[in-house]
């Protein structure tokens, strides 16, 4: 059985790398994406069976396709549900609209223990 895959979508390369290290140390496979457009391309064209994300960690404030636009696209696509945990460095004003409900929300800076607990919970429920 392959390790669960986590799609990490954030425009901050240092944070993507840090999240990849923390999640990798816990045995998760990580695919990084710097914006929603790249993440959408991964989900649409690349992810198949064992490479389908068990969950997505999603930044809200990104260039090109931001987190809310990605959530809107993801909620309208056919296929199995992929749990999403939104990460934001801003207040509730930067979280998705009430019609786009993520499965979890984390405030940046993200505490590693809280992150790992949230990821484990969402992956287990997937």
Domains in the chain with CATH codes: 5-125 (3.40.50.2300)
Task: Give the mean pLDDT of the chain.
Answer: 88
**Residue-wise pLDDT tens digits, 58-92:** 998 888 888 889 999 998 888 888 999 999 876 54
Report the distance separating Cα 80 and Cα 126, nearest Å. Answer: 10
Token couple for 107: 């405030």
Structure tokens at 125: 């429920």
Q: Is this prediction's pTM over 0.75?
A: yes
91-116 pLDDT per residue, tens: 544 455 555 789 999 998 999 999 99
């Amino acid at each position: 059985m392959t390790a669960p895959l986590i799609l990490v979508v954030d425009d901050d390369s240092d944070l993507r790398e840090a999240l990849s290290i923390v999640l990798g140390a816990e045995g998760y496979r990580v695919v990084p994406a710097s914006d929603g457009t790249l993440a959408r391309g991964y989900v649409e064209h690349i992810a198949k069976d064992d490479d389908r994300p068990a969950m997505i960690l999603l930044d809200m404030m990104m260039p090109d396709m931001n987190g809310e636009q990605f959530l809107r696209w993801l909620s309208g696509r056919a296929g199995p549900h992929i749990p999403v945990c939104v990460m934001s460095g801003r207040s509730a004003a930067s979280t998705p609209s009430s019609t786009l409900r993520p499965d979890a929300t984390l405030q940046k800076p993200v505490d590693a223990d809280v992150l790992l607990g949230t990821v484990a919970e969402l992956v287990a429920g997937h």
